[in-house]
Structure 1
Amino acid sequence: MPENASALPTPPWSVRPGARAWRCVPAPAEVLDFHAALPGYAPTPLIELPALAGELGVGRVFVKDESCRLGLPAFKALGVSWAVHRLLGEQAGSGRDPGSVTLVTATEGNHGRAVARVARLRGQRAHVFVPQGVHPRAVAAIVGEGAEVTAVPGSYDEAVRRAAEAAAARDTVLVQDSAWPGYERIPGWIVEGYSTLCAEIDGQLAARGVNEGPDLVSIPVGVGSLAQAVVTHYRSRDRGRAPALLAVEPEAAACVLAGLVRGRAVSVPTGETAMAGLNCGTPSSLAWPHLLGGLDAAVAVPDSAGARAAARLAALGVSSGPCGAAALAGLCTVLGGTGADERRTALGLDATSVVVLLSTEGPSANPHHTSGQ
């Protein structure tokens, strides 16, 4: 599927040698057991696509399909459910009545709906701030979970600022998947919750005869919390092979790529993109050290590449939105254009490589927007 390299320019890309040797502390082992005990839990599918492997010139390609996770169309419920479990458990242990808590967050859609769903199931209230451009269907889905919704006439980053201000009220707690100095505990729990997705992949690959794990994982990146969870999983163990980890962002909001190029966290202005859930201009402060240390590479892709990737996945029977299809769009972009052979070598890919693509959400309600971060 990579297009003719001679016909394409060099993509926005950064590679960081030595990332596979970087190490960190693993996620708590009990997270998977917590999720497995939830009503309706089941591992999401890991779908093998031999035709795509042939097109990409690798051995095997698998897509982790997060289009239906605990009854919601994205992976976000994993992080939110664990974080709220930890939060309410702490409050019960301190003697505080958890029934008085309002969970506040900002969202492009899926994270906010997950907060609203978990709040409803746990008997809490939810207040969700949505930035300009979120599709009315995404807003309606959040309202349908019983949450109060406040529209913000600005960017995702502005919605986060407004949510943080609202969370200063009594009996109110911010449940955000992005961290900044002074606000890292709850985002850290959310990242821990995402570890279940990676643990599932281990078991599913082993069941297909891939006992050493993948050679490359391609990850859609917004503020970087999911990428932090993936880095933590694969950089906190010595067993099996250490895969290359590729971060994929929209060209309109490539803050992680910009930071990797500069060697430090930076904020970038954001523009319009169909990958709205990845439209974040500032990486999470909690995620950044893991991204800088453990990512092998990052690439920025245009919306057109995301649309082609979503169409290709659909043709192969995988239901994916623009954010989820970014994983494939990024890999195709890396393997096309000027310098494709060098990028393939930098990622350690050959005709025997096993690749996992994280398709983080189902199709969008609107061709111009998706419900992600």
Structure 2
Amino acid sequence: MTDQEDDLPAAAFPSPLPLPWYARPAARAWSCAAPPPDARAFHTTLPGYAPTALHELPALAAKLAVDRVFVKDESARFGLPAFKALGASWAIDRILALAAYRTPGATDTRTLRFVTATDGNHGRAVARMARQLGRRVHVFVPVGVHPAAVAAIEGEGAEVTAVAGSYDAAVHDARAAAAAPDAVLVQDMAWDGYEEIPALVVEGYATLFAEIDAQLDAVGAEPPALVAVPVGVGSLAQAAVTHYRSGSSAGRRGGRGTGAALLSVEPVGAACVLASLRAGRLTHVPTGATVMAGLNCGTPSTLAWPVLRDGLDAAVAVTDADSTSAVRELAELGVSSGPCGAASLAGVRAALTGTGSAERRAALGVGPDATVVLINTEGAAANPGL
């Protein structure tokens, strides 16, 4: 345990083991406004759109002592190995529409170029959408992004600049580059003064959770008791909380009881959301190397933070060994996953098994009749160096 756990608020339930863990069951009583439906309608018009697979894994349900386990498989979203295209496509579409609207008399925004920072998947998604629209894009990548991932971004026609520092350092350099009058920053992380575009990215992610609702209903499954989401800066988790804590989800199990418990999962070396929850305020943490490169973020998005603070049920941090073990287990069950995507399984395994799991299950409201959904945010192709 870290010394921080001595300062946990009364609502938190720390694990009796040295597991990086935080829980706040009162989150299920919190509610928020539903996301607008526009993004999902937009996505259905894009070439190649189809809901990504929702795999049921009975063997994994037996291991976790729950009724059903489903994996939302984002390994092939719009031909890319991760979910990020949902946010990038919607944000870029809205940026172009708003740019024309805000410029008096403007009918042509073809000179506008896009800038972003990335640990891999977001940058490639922005580059793919920009290429399809005939736009220029400049992508900043931090230390630790595998050369093959950089090559994939360059293969989309992007200019790529390597930054000798962390993800936060890459964001800093991208912000500076986007100050040019013909450039716009397309980031999924928000900070004071930069929130409109990250909000659009989060709106785009809502499509993923709406698909899950429809897919569970189609197979006669109960709404989930637990949803596990890998976390970097927290934007996907923000979309999850917004979905399940609003009227946009049928998230009441069997029309009764409480809504889904939402679990965020981070690398132990970059657990900025967990640290923020423990501190009760948005907190920066130093980051190091991790195989979960896409989650290697030291500062939560300011837009995501208040939503996660009030709406997350629990947070856990997992090791690289936990994640790579989960990658292998999912592969054996026929699911392609990278270490970021498999983090959701690693986090659920840490929460629901081992010493102290009875207390953690109680905090999450997960019993033997529970349906669990794991968000597999990326496929193995997103991590050629693993």
TM-score (norm 2): 0.91
Instruction: Evaluate the alpha carbon distance shift between residue 239 and residue 69 of structure 1 in structure 2; reply closer, same or farther with a 3 A threshold.
Output: closer
Of the three residues 47, 52, 58, the one matched with 2:55 is 47
SS at match of 1:18: helix
How far, CA to CA, are the matches of 2:29 and 2:266 in structure 1? 24
Instruction: Evaluate the alpha carbon distance shift between residue 145 and residue 356 of structure 1 in structure 2; reply closer, same or farther with a 3 A threshold.
Output: same
The amino acid that maps onto 2:167 is: Y
Q: What corresponds to 1:85 in structure 2?
A: 93
Contact 1:249 1:299 in 2 (8 A): yes
How far, CA to CA, are the matches of 2:17 and 2:237 in structure 1? 27
Q: What corresponds to 2:322 in structure 1?
A: 305
Q: What corresponds to 1:223 in structure 2?
A: 233
Give 1:92 deviation, angstroms.
2.3
Of the three residues 25, 28, 40, the one matched with 2:36 is 28
Aligned pairs, how many? 360
Give 1:272 deviation, angstroms.
1.0
Q: What corresponds to 2:338 in structure 1?
A: 321
Pair 1:232-2:232 in alignment: no
Pair 1:75-2:75 in alignment: no
Of the three residues 116, 120, 123, the one matched with 1:112 is 123
Deviation digits for residues 52-110 of structure 1, max 9, x if unmatched? 00000000000000000001000000000000010101122234331111100001111
The amino acid that maps onto 1:202 is: D
Contact 1:9 1:337 in 2 (8 A): no
How far, CA to CA, are the matches of 1:35 and 1:194 in structure 2? 10
Name the Cα RMSD after superposition.
1.2
SS at match of 2:25: coil
Instruction: Evaluate the alpha carbon distance shift between residue 125 and residue 158 of structure 1 in structure 2; reply closer, same or farther with a 3 A threshold.
Output: same
Structure 2 residue runs of 5 or longer lacking an equivalent are: 1-15, 253-258
SS at match of 1:113: helix
Q: What corresponds to 1:135 in structure 2?
A: 146
Give 1:239 deviation, angstroms.
4.6
Q: What corresponds to 1:353 in structure 2?
A: 370
Q: What corresponds to 1:3 in structure 2?
A: none
Of the three residues 272, 278, 281, the one matched with 2:289 is 272
SS at match of 1:281: coil
Q: What corresponds to 1:190 in structure 2?
A: 201
Q: What corresponds to 1:159 in structure 2?
A: 170
Contact 1:24 1:236 in 2 (8 A): yes
Contact 2:25 2:364 in 1 (8 A): no
Q: What corresponds to 1:173 in structure 2?
A: 184
Deviation digits for residues 16-68 of structure 1, max 9, x if unmatched? 12101111111111211100010000000000000000000000000000000
Structure 1 residue runs of 5 or longer lacking an equivalent are: 1-7, 369-373
How far, CA to CA, are the matches of 2:86 and 2:25 in structure 1? 31
SS at match of 2:223: coil
Q: State, as a whole percentage, how many aligned pairs show the same letter.
A: 64
Give 1:135 deviation, angstroms.
1.1
Of the three residues 257, 264, 268, the one matched with 1:247 is 264
The amino acid that maps onto 2:86 is: L
Contact 2:64 2:353 in 1 (8 A): no
Pair 1:199-2:210 in alignment: yes
Q: What corresponds to 2:10 in structure 1?
A: none
Deviation digits for residues 205-253 of structure 1, max 9, x if unmatched? 000102x521110000000000000000001128541100000000010
The amino acid that maps onto 1:125 is: R
Q: What corresponds to 1:371 in structure 2?
A: none
How far, CA to CA, are the matches of 2:383 and 2:264 in structure 1? 25
Of the three residues 359, 367, 374, the one matched with 1:342 is 359
Pair 1:14-2:39 in alignment: no
Contact 1:10 1:338 in 2 (8 A): no
Q: What corresponds to 2:135 in structure 1?
A: 124
How far, CA to CA, are the matches of 2:353 and 2:67 in structure 1? 18
The ranges of structure 1 where at least 4 consecutive aligned residues each deviate by more than 6 angstroms after the TM superposition are none
SS at match of 1:31: helix
The amino acid that maps onto 2:364 is: L
TM-score (norm 1): 0.94
Contact 1:10 1:339 in 2 (8 A): no
Pair 1:150-2:161 in alignment: yes
